[in-house]
Structure 1
Amino acid sequence: MVSSLPHPTTAAGRDGLAALLARPEKAVVALDFDGTLAEIVPDPEQARAHPGAVPALSALAPHLAAVVVVTGRPAGVAVRYGGFAGVPGLDHLVVLGHYGAERWDAVSGTVQAAAPHPGVAAVRAELPGFLDRVGAWPGTWIEEKGRAVAVHTRRAEDPQGAFEALKGPLGDLAARHGLVLEPGRMVLELRPPGMDKGVALADFLRETGAGSVLYAGDDLGDLPAYAAVEKLRSDGTPGLLVCSAAESAAVPDLAARADLTVPGPAAVVGLLAGLAEALTEGEGAGQGA
């Protein structure tokens, strides 16, 4: 294993990394956006990919079968905030937005999407009055996500208290309109069922015929993607699970299942750059042999 790369703590993770390095042309690197490629910020509209993310990805992507960003954000928003469009080396990048309900690919530069769930529009209309009635704490605010709606508590005086107080009522509201509630770090998202990163990732990996996969995420919404990689590993496809600890500590449920934990987006970018360097060196050694 290349000495400059971090060492996974599990045997399965080490096998996944070794498979990626041995046959990169069959490998897929899949990445969450917020907290993984971009720092978590109080206002999600101000989130941007780490400055080193695009250079690292553009150096790494030509060695791989595919690079895919899997996010709860609208695909077009992730592309803009990531700066992914029109980048040499990223001409085959795919962004799966809204947990796979939307797809942007660099080849066409367009977003393909299924019809929106009618429950989202109903919740969108009801939510402001609903939050008033349940006594939402000052500082709680609504994020419009197109095919989903999210309630943030990060700006509240007691963010965790507001989060816990709203989880039950918002779960009931989501169920009444045929939606599901997805908790994250100080955010509660109401979205259609059947949309999760595990489904999106598994479908994409089948499409590409991946021989190995690296998935990096930072929050509870990434657990289904972890489960998809674990299922692949049980079926014989190597995989590496990376946890981005974007704040003072990793999300415990995610960190417990990760093969490798790194301290936030800067370290994720460092891992991607290290992989690109290792693969470039490996190609050079192969040509010189």
Structure 2
Amino acid sequence: MEFTSAAARQRYDAIVAHADEIVVGLDFDGVLSPIVEDPTQAHIHPDAPQALVDLSDLVRAVAVVTGRPARQVLALGGLDEVGDAIGDHGKELFVFGQYGNERWSSTQRRVISPRPPHGLSTFERELPSLLRRSRASGAYIEEKGLAVAVHTRRLEDANEAFERLLAPMSELARLHGLVVEPGRNVIEVRSDGQHKGHAVETLVKEQNAGGFLFAGDDLGDVEAFEAVAELRERGLPTLLVCAASDEQSVLLPLADVVVPGADGVMDLLRRFIADVRA
């Protein structure tokens, strides 16, 4: 765990002091789950369920904010069971899936989701042809319902394939009124206008939050970081945590704390829990 400045250390101390007013928002992949080659096998870190339960005792609310479909994260994270345990403590777990387009809570127990964006089905039909033309037929296509993601991690040169695909996929998305969200060896196509920053704003409003801790690892977390930074400008205690990797560095200049992947996030959460209880 590395603070990026003396001010960052002070921000950490402030959220510890105001823990009962804080909302904790956590990305899933790379934060609660280690990054793996097969995204269908990205199971939650073994220490995360207990950490989420312990956190819920101390803070205003805990939320998983992810680009994955909510149902997928519920399964990979065992979050139904985690929600049960958090409910036994009189608290509630929230899941915001597909960048906030979907939401679930441990009290409501159903996923609320809009219709798929116009143009997505046509984009998906044209995608295999694009992959063949780009010499990336072996890329893994993940259909999310409200979005589609192309993973290059399984290909022989994942980074080069990612760079080769980004421009043509962006152009095809534009033709169908969609936007591209690049990530760690993944290119996601979805509707415009919804991002994790909106999920942060919703949580602050609904939970009457007096501060926010957000942990992310990727380009898709930038808007959440920016929304938390705006709360900081309003005088609320905040902390921005980057789960760093060799593949992505976009969050590093925005972060207060840098940790090594999901293991580092668990260390941070354990330290935060211990410091609040001290």
**TM-score of the superposition, structure 2-length normalised?**
0.93
**3-state SS of 1:89 partner:** helix
Amino acid at match of 2:190: R
Q: Which runs of 5+ in 2 are unaligned?
A: none
Percent of matched pairs sharing the same residue? 45
Cα displacement (A) at 1:182: 0.5
Count, aligned residues: 273
Cα displacement (A) at 1:250: 6.4
- For 2:21, the equivalent position in structure 1 comes to 26
2:66 aligned with 1:60, yes or no? no
- For 1:228, the equivalent position in structure 2 comes to 227
Contact 1:16–1:213 at 8 Å: present in 2 too? no
**3-state SS of 2:3 partner:** coil
Distance in 1 between residues matched to 2:240 and 2:247, nearest whole Å: 14
**TM-score of the superposition, structure 1-length normalised?**
0.90
Which stretch shifts more, 120-129 or 191-200?
120-129
Contact 1:218–1:250 at 8 Å: present in 2 too? no
- For 2:147, the equivalent position in structure 1 comes to 148
Cα displacement (A) at 1:7: 5.8
Amino acid at match of 1:126: E
Distance in 1 between residues matched to 2:193 and 2:179, nearest whole Å: 9
**3-state SS of 2:206 partner:** helix
Which stretch shifts more, 112-121 or 76-85?
112-121
Which stretch shifts more, 6-15 or 153-162?
6-15
Query: What value does the CA root-mean-square deviation take over the aligned residues?
Result: 1.6
Of 256, 271, 275, the residue aligned with 1:274 is 271
- For 1:184, the equivalent position in structure 2 comes to 183
Amino acid at match of 1:120: L
2:248 aligned with 1:251, yes or no? yes
1:138–1:128 distance in 2 versus 1, CA, 3 Å = closer
- 1:71-110 alignment runs, 5 A limit: 71-87=66-82, 88-89=85-86, 91-110=91-110
Amino acid at match of 1:111: V
Distance in 2 between residues matched to 1:180 and 1:46, nearest whole Å: 26
- For 1:287, the equivalent position in structure 2 comes to none
Contact 2:134–2:164 at 8 Å: present in 1 too? no
Distance in 1 between residues matched to 2:2 and 2:235, nearest whole Å: 21
Cα displacement (A) at 1:138: 4.9
Contact 1:15–1:238 at 8 Å: present in 2 too? no
- 1:200-239 alignment runs, 5 A limit: 200-239=199-238
Contact 2:128–2:137 at 8 Å: present in 1 too? no
Contact 1:223–1:254 at 8 Å: present in 2 too? yes
Cα displacement (A) at 1:169: 0.6
Per-residue displacement from partner, 1:52-105 (whole Å, max 9, x unpaired)?
000111111111110011000011111111111133125501000000010010
Distance in 2 between residues matched to 1:82 and 1:143, nearest whole Å: 18
1:236–1:250 distance in 2 versus 1, CA, 3 Å = farther
**3-state SS of 2:181 partner:** strand
Per-residue displacement from partner, 1:215-250 (whole Å, max 9, x unpaired)?
1011111111111111111121221110102x4x36
**3-state SS of 1:39 partner:** coil
**3-state SS of 2:213 partner:** strand
- For 1:111, the equivalent position in structure 2 comes to 111
Distance in 2 between residues matched to 1:15 and 1:208, nearest whole Å: 24
Per-residue displacement from partner, 1:145-176 (whole Å, max 9, x unpaired)?
11100111112222111111111110011111
Distance in 2 between residues matched to 1:107 and 1:19, nearest whole Å: 30
Amino acid at match of 2:207: T
Contact 1:38–1:265 at 8 Å: present in 2 too? yes
2:32 aligned with 1:37, yes or no? yes
Contact 2:117–2:146 at 8 Å: present in 1 too? yes
Per-residue displacement from partner, 1:100-154 (whole Å, max 9, x unpaired)?
010010012111112221222221222112322x233353221111110011111
Amino acid at match of 1:40: I
- For 1:263, the equivalent position in structure 2 comes to 260
